[in-house]
Amino acid sequence: MPERTLPDPDVRTGGATELAHDLVVIPDPGVQLVPNIGVVGGTHSVLVVETGLGPSNAENVLAFAAEYARGRSLYLTTTHFHPEHAFGAQVFADEATYLVNSAQAADLATKGTAYLDMFRGLGEPIARRLEGVEPVAPDMVYEDAFDLDLGGRVVRLRATGRAHSRGDQVVTVPDAGVMFTGDLVEAGQFAIFPWFPPYDTDVSGIRWIEVMKRLSAERPRVVVPGHGEVGGARLLSDVRDYLELLRDETWRRRDSAMGEQAIVEEVRSLMLARHPEWAGQEWIERGVGCLCAEHVAGDSHSPA
């Protein structure tokens, strides 16, 4: 993560917006580490997508969801294990059934403590939000895909394979044409160059790009990114196109006599010219580094 002071990542449930019948999003207000949070209802159950960063945010989300549910059963899922998405799950322990894919459950178990320590170092407001966090194991774990019946509405949960993280999960509501992508997409007013967590991510044509191609082919009516403004299917193709260009421009230079820093400078200039409005410029260098490291390792893309 970049070293700079970040504002308090306060989830504001008062801004909840209806995207379809019995489906709302608590939107990212343009504050870093505040995700878009979904609440999806059926006749007998309601699914919450993401918790917000830490127990206090999760308490607000749970209170909103419980009022919205009006007696319906609650489920919780998270698109991946990163703290602003999943490190409030303990608040839901006695109120909702928490389900994720097996790769995400493994991420929570093996990397949760390290990410908690890392995020606590991002500044006092973040550390305060993370006080008392206890990463919890999911109640239900599936392998590749799970259809959750909420009553008259089936929500599809599926593991994508390693892309932004090893345990990425996309949540789709087919009858409404709505797709929650997590941080596979960060867009809109808060558009950001894709973040490449060390040891987790993959930007090659085998994984992240292929994931974006598959999602784009579904042509969802509404795409809810991990952060940023809700939009249409164009959000998916924008990320795919960027990742392909980043890969191609890096790989075109890496077999030359250029050093990695020279490659970074040339590719950064090109990416900034294409997307001058996007934030998170530091992640261009991380992406180039990932692609160069893949080359050094022999371009091995065996499943992690």
CA-based radius of gyration for the chain: 19
CB atoms within 10 A of CB 228: 22
At residue 249, what are phi and psi to the nearest 5 degrees? -70, -35
- The set of residues, in sequence order, having a beta carbon less than 8 Å from that of 8 and lying 6+ positions away, is 31, 125, 128, 129
Percent share of the chain, pLDDT over 70:
90
What would the mean pLDDT of 50-56 be, rounded to a whole number? 98
Is the pLDDT at 299 greater than 50? The verdict is no
Domains of the chain: 13-241 (3.60.15.10)
Which residues, including other chains, have CB under 8 Å from residue 271's CB and lie 6 or more apart?
193, 242, 245, 246, 284
Cα–Cα distance measured from residue 79 to residue 60, given in angstroms and rounded to the nearest whole number: 19
pLDDT (0 to 100) of residue 158: 97
Task: Tell me if 73 sits within 8 A of 66, measured CB to CB.
Answer: no
Cβ contact 283:194 at 8 Å:
yes
Parallel, antiparallel, or unpaired for β 17-20 and 23-26?
antiparallel
Q: Would you state the structure tokens that stand for residue 158, as one six-digit string? A: 């599926």
Closest CA to 77 of 148, 25, 151: 148
Q: Could you give phi then psi for residue 26, rounded to 5 degrees?
A: -90, 105
Parallel, antiparallel, or unpaired: how do β-strands 140-142 and 169-173 relate?
A: unpaired
Higher pLDDT, 274 or 280: 274
Give 5's contacts (C-beta < 8 A, 6+ positions apart).
Answer: 123
Above 50 in pLDDT, residue 304?
Answer: no
- By the 8 A CB rule, do 55 and 132 touch? yes
User: 205-240: per-residue pLDDT in tens?
Assistant: 568 899 999 999 999 999 999 999 999 999 999 999
**Rounded CA gap, 304 and 184, in Å?**
18
Alpha-carbon dihedral sign for residues 230, 234, 236, 241: negative
Condensed to tens digits (0 to 9), the pLDDT of residues 167-197 reads 999 999 999 999 999 999 987 555 567 766 6
Token pair for 87: 């490190």
Q: Among the listed ranges 14-23, 35-44, 145-154, 183-192, which one has the minimum average pLDDT value?
A: 183-192
Q: Which of 119-128, 140-149, 157-166, 290-299 has the lowest mean pLDDT?
A: 290-299
Predicted confidence (pLDDT) per residue in 76-97, tens digit: 999 999 999 999 999 999 999 9
